[in-house]
Amino acid sequence: MNTENIIKTLIVKKPLKLDCGKTINEFPIAYETYGSLNEKKDNAILVFHALTGDQFVTGQNPITKKDGWWSYAVGPDKAIDTKKYFIICANVMGGCMGSFGPSHEDPNTGTAFGANFPVITINDMVNAQYNLLDHFGIDKLFSIAGGSMGGMQVLQFISNFPDKAKTVIPIACTSSHSAQNIAFNELGRQAIAADSNWKGGDYSSKDTIPNKGLAVARMAAHITYLSKKGLQEKFGRKLQEREDLKFGFDADFQIESYLRYQGSVFVDRFDANSYLYITRAMDYFDLAKQYKGNLSDAFRATRAKFFIISFTSDWLYPTQENKDIVIALNSIGADVGFVEIESDKGHDSFLLDVPDFLSALKNFLDKSYTEN
Amino acid sequence: MKNEFQVIAELIEKDKKVLDVGCGDGILMEFLKNNKNTNIRGLEISKSKVQECIAKGLTVIEGNAEKDLKQFPDKSFEYVVLSQTLQAFLNPELVINELLRVGKKAIVTIPNFGYWRVRLHLLIKGTMPITKTLPDEWYNTPNIHMCSIKDFFYFAKSRKIKIFKSLALSNQNVSIINDSNLTIKNFFADLGIFLIEK
């Protein structure tokens, strides 16, 4: 497949100093846009994707042929209305959909970077994506929005560039990765490293792929995106195409079969090293630490209007962690709204058809835009 | 907009920063924003009411006054409004203290349990009073700490809370309450509105 024509890429000429100390030059940022930028250039929304997302927010993803990851929220007349707004989304640095990542060729060796790719951070990701504003000649974004790791990028972006967005929408996220978050990510990374095909990260030159490890990583992570109630209602103890237990280790239960399927389709579209690097970036994320332990200081310079959204059944980034951001903002008198949406769909709620969430998102954006 | 909100709005000057605690569907907030150029924020416990406020373009935080006021810094609002919810808190005194900490001034309204219809209901019927302002039965009312205008007066005095203005609302009539007419107003007013400071 010739992906060159499908993936739009900005080659960033300006050197970027990464948190790890290395400086990178002439690196690619792959992006996609939806809707059109108006003459005043005041209708742009920068959307940030989560761990396994990419720049293809809505419509059919031209690479995977599946629906874009935020198809419920983004589109004509939807919450983030493509008739009204110009939506930009970039593949994060470290990703595997065209942006600078571990599968890129290392000019020094002529083979993929693999584990020689620099360890990147959420801060590096947003600094790289900031170049898209210059590229489109946008002085100030109307909004920045994202869920999960996308929400972390939203928080980092507004703290790095306090006057570059009018409205700020972090969804189902945290300002600091918790021990539990790190633990689940480590589980995923260890599953990949335990796959003999991983080869210390150098699998592409050895023509192998650590599919099994990556699939297990995805299976474990997938459980954390759902809720106990949601799983129980959808699967319970239902058996998979069989009348009774088989007294073996095949997928007797539907939940097993479902997870195996989720793992198997994931490896077709995602790179194992990208998974390692991006989860590491999430684990390193601690916005308060960047401001000597005072999260409020991250937002002191901005006059943007915040709207924070969490979900009742999200146990990966629970309401309290989202509320901590609200508290930090209120303690400096920032303009912040907050709602916890009732949903039994777990952390994944922000990606799904959850009407209360979608209407809150739409109302906030549209009302804020009219007041512009 | 109900008469009570008109009276509250008249107590607030233009261009002030105001927090509406228990803002409901945001009617008062919207009025203050549009007519007084108020920089207005809301705190509301009901998810559906928060959604209604968002649909009106209002900045509202879902939360509970007893737990969530503490995140606001001292004197960060010029006025904090609490309309007819004081009696529903487990610890009204704590809430009053928080209102007076967060706001330079607070506007508190209470359904008056000293109102003659309330007294008459209990006297004649011998059952818990139900009126227009207190429509619920004893078993499903959110109101667990009812008080009268007189009670609130005495409370403020004992806590050294300064009452700048106290108004009695009965039907459409607004009148000033003072020490000399307190007993009468406590009998005839359906609602008490207090502008306080500490």
Distance, in Å, from the CA atom of A349 to the CA atom of A341, rounded to the nearest integer, reads 9
- List pLDDT tens digits, range B26-38: 999 999 999 999 9
Report chain A residues whose CB lies below 8 A from the CB of B61: 326, 330, 336-338
DSSP letter assigned to residue B171: T
- Looking at CA atoms only, how far is residue B72 from chain A in angstroms? 5
Q: Tell me: pLDDT of B88 over 60.
A: yes
| B71:A331 CB<8 A | yes
Q: Tell me: pLDDT of A2 over 60.
A: no
- Among residues of chain A, what percentage have pLDDT more than 90? 97
Going along chain B from its start, the domains and CATH numbers come out as 3-113+144-197 (3.40.50.150)
Q: Which of B55, B62, B72 sits opposite A330 (nearest CB)?
A: B72
Going along chain A from its start, the domains and CATH numbers come out as 8-178+286-370 (3.40.50.1820), 181-279 (1.10.1740.110)
User: Cβ of A62 under 8 Å from any chain B Cβ?
Assistant: no
Count CB neighbours of A40 within 10 A. Answer: 8
pTM score of the predicted model: 0.95
DSSP letter assigned to residue B62: E
Residue of A nearest to B55 (CA): A363
Q: Which amino acids of A are annotated catalytic? A: 148, 314, 347
Count CB neighbours of A314 within 10 A. Answer: 29
C-alpha torsion sign, points B7, B11, B12, B18 = negative
pLDDT tier for residue B100 given thresholds of 50, 70 and 90 = very high
Q: How many CB pairs under 8 A join A and B?
A: 55
**C-alpha distance from residue A116 to each of A24, A92, A192, B45, B125 (Å):** 13, 18, 16, 51, 84
Q: Which of A340, A342, A360 sits opposite B54 (nearest CB)?
A: A360
Per-residue model confidence (pLDDT) at position B132 = 87
Residue of B nearest to A371 (CA): B57
- Looking at CA atoms only, how far is residue B40 from chain A in angstroms? 10
Phi and psi angles of residue A269, each rounded to the nearest 5 degrees, phi first: -120, -5
Q: Tell me: pLDDT of B47 over 90.
A: yes
Q: Are A147 and A89 in contact (CB under 8 A)?
A: no
Per-residue model confidence (pLDDT) at position A372 = 64
Report chain B residues whose CB lies below 8 A from the CB of A371: 57
pLDDT tier for residue A3 given thresholds of 50, 70 and 90 = low
- List pLDDT tens digits, range A42-63: 999 999 999 999 999 999 999 9
Strands B103-111 and B39-44: unpaired
